[in-house]
Amino acid sequence: MPDLATIGAALSSIKTATDIAKFLRESDLSLEKAELKLKFADLLVSLADAKVELVEVQGELAQKDKKIAELTSAFEAKDDLVQRGDAYYIRDEHGEATGKPFCLRCWESDHKQRQLVRSPKDHRTIVCTSCGHKYDNMTVREIQPKPEGA
Q: Is the Cβ–Cβ distance between 128 and 103 less than 8 Å?
A: yes
Mean pLDDT of the chain: 81
Residue 1 confidence (pLDDT) above 60: no
Beta-bridge partner residues of 118:
126
Provide the pLDDT for residue 29. 59
Find the mean pLDDT for residues 43-66: 85
Q: Which of 64, 123, 60, 116 lies closest to 88 in space, CA to CA? A: 116
- List Cα–Cα distances, 138 to 9, 18, 59, 122, 123, in angstroms: 58, 69, 45, 13, 11
Find the mean pLDDT for residues 64-80: 82
- Interatomic CA distance for residues 13 and 55, integer angstroms: 13
Range with the poorest average pLDDT among 30-44, 72-86, 123-137: 30-44
The pTM score is 0.53
Every domain of the chain and the residues it spans: 4-77, 85-136
